[in-house]
Amino acid sequence: MVVDAFALVADGPGFLVVDKGPGLDFHDHDGRPGLCSLVAQELGRPVFPVHRLDKATSGILLLATDRRRAADLAALFRERNVEKYYVALADSPPRKKQGLVQGDMVRSRRGTWKLTRSMERPARTRFFSWPVGPGRRLFVLKPMTGRTHQLRVAMKSLGAPILGDELYHPHAPDWPDRMYLHAHTLHFRLEGADFLYACAPSAGSLFLEDGFRQTLEGLGPLEALPWPGK
């Protein structure tokens, strides 16, 4: 789908917060500029990656504006001191409506991953879900670890793969206009100060429907949901 490449959400101390559009590569690819290059070109300042999103995933991202801050922020992610909250849409009923998905992730075919019952180095994702229209559910996902395709595999394991997911959702004649996964909220503490940024999805016809938008807005801040341990 054709969307704006990114929107600037905030300019923080040594970092930028941007909202990445779906379908945009994080790094340059096949001669086309990725998010980092586009942000640097648009704002006229260097940026340094700290974490990333899949090409098909939209939403909120941090980019450092100097190497020292990049190291600081990368350490926060590495030490799991950043809270991340995502929203997703599915068109299949999940095996459970809320809870914890966990297990080791192993390589499968076609570049995909699968969740196993072993717990040697488990990926862990907490979630809630609500109906938002005929046959569709809104999921709020909180990854507790940071594995490749973690949220996409967690949804698949629930029996509710993310709508539009080319790897984990069976294709259907009425294939949607994007993968319906969006990084909504980031919360972290840096040098004694709290930083919290949230950005609702702005691309995708199903994300823009009244049922989804009203339900999401009615939840209030995603970090304030009754997550275990809060």
Identify the CA nearest to 157 among candidates 110, 92, 211: 92
Bridge partners (DSSP) of residue 89 are 138
Active site residue 210: no
**Total number of residues shown for the chain:** 230
Place of tokens 């095996």: 95
Identify the CA nearest to 132 among candidates 197, 196, 204: 204
Give all strands (DSSP E) within 91-192, no chain letters: 99-103, 105-107, 113-115, 123-133, 136-143, 181-190
Please identify which of the residues 11, 25, 28, 54 carries the catalytic annotation: 54
Catalytic residues: 54
